Structure 1
Amino acid sequence: MMARKKSAKKELILTTAAAMFRERGFAASSMRDLAEKIGIEAASLYNHIQSKAQILEEIVDGVSEECKIHLDNLEKSNSTSLEKIESLIRFHTKMMMNRFEEYSVMVSQWMHLDGDKLVHFATNRRDYVKRMEAIVEAGIQKGELKSLMPYVVVLNILSSVRGLEFWQRSAKTHTAQEMEDNMVIHLIGGIKK
Structure 2
Amino acid sequence: MDTVDRKRSAKKELILKTAATMFRERGFAASSMRDLAEKIGIEAASLYNHIQSKAQILEEIITGVAELCKNHLINIDKNNSTSLQKIESLIRFHTNMMIHHFEEYSVMVNEWMHLEKDKLNLFAQARREYVKRMEAIVQEGIDKGELKPIMPYVVVLNILSAVRGLEFWHRSAKSHSAKEIEENMVAHLIGGIKR
- Using structure 2 for the length normalisation, give the TM-score: 0.99
Q: Which of these residues, 36, 44, 50, is aligned with residue 42 of structure 1?
A: 44
Q: Which of these residues, 70, 79, 82, is aligned with residue 81 of structure 2?
A: 79
Q: Distance in 1 between matches of 2:113 and 2:79?
A: 32
- Using structure 1 for the length normalisation, give the TM-score: 1.00
SS in 2 for 1:160: helix
1:120 aligns with 2:118: no
Q: Distance in 1 between matches of 2:64 and 2:111?
A: 14
Q: Which of these residues, 11, 14, 18, is aligned with residue 13 of structure 2?
A: 11
The Cα shift of 1:76 comes to 1.0
Q: Distance in 2 between matches of 1:37 and 1:57?
A: 20
Q: Distance in 1 between matches of 2:74 and 2:114?
A: 26
The Cα shift of 1:115 comes to 1.3
Question: Where do 5+ consecutive residues of structure 2 fail to align?
Answer: none
Question: Where do 5+ consecutive residues of structure 1 fail to align?
Answer: none
* Equivalent residue, structure 2, for 1:22: 24
> Within 5 A, what are the aligned runs for 1:48-127?
48-127=50-129
1:173 aligns with 2:175: yes
Q: Distance in 2 between matches of 1:89 and 1:165?
A: 15
The Cα shift of 1:91 comes to 0.1
Q: Distance in 1 between matches of 2:82 and 2:118?
A: 36
Identity %: 78
Q: Distance in 1 between matches of 2:172 and 2:31?
A: 24
Q: Distance in 2 between matches of 1:58 and 1:99?
A: 14
The Cα shift of 1:143 comes to 0.1
Q: Which of these residues, 136, 139, 147, is aligned with residue 138 of structure 2?
A: 136
Q: Distance in 1 between matches of 2:171 and 2:93?
A: 20
The Cα shift of 1:25 comes to 0.3
1:185 aligns with 2:177: no
Q: Distance in 2 between matches of 1:133 and 1:77?
A: 18
The Cα shift of 1:188 comes to 0.2
Q: Which runs of 4+ in 1 moved over 4 A?
A: none
Q: Distance in 2 between matches of 1:29 and 1:40?
A: 16
The letter for the 2-side match of 1:28 is A
The Cα shift of 1:171 comes to 0.6
Q: Distance in 1 between matches of 2:52 and 2:131?
A: 31
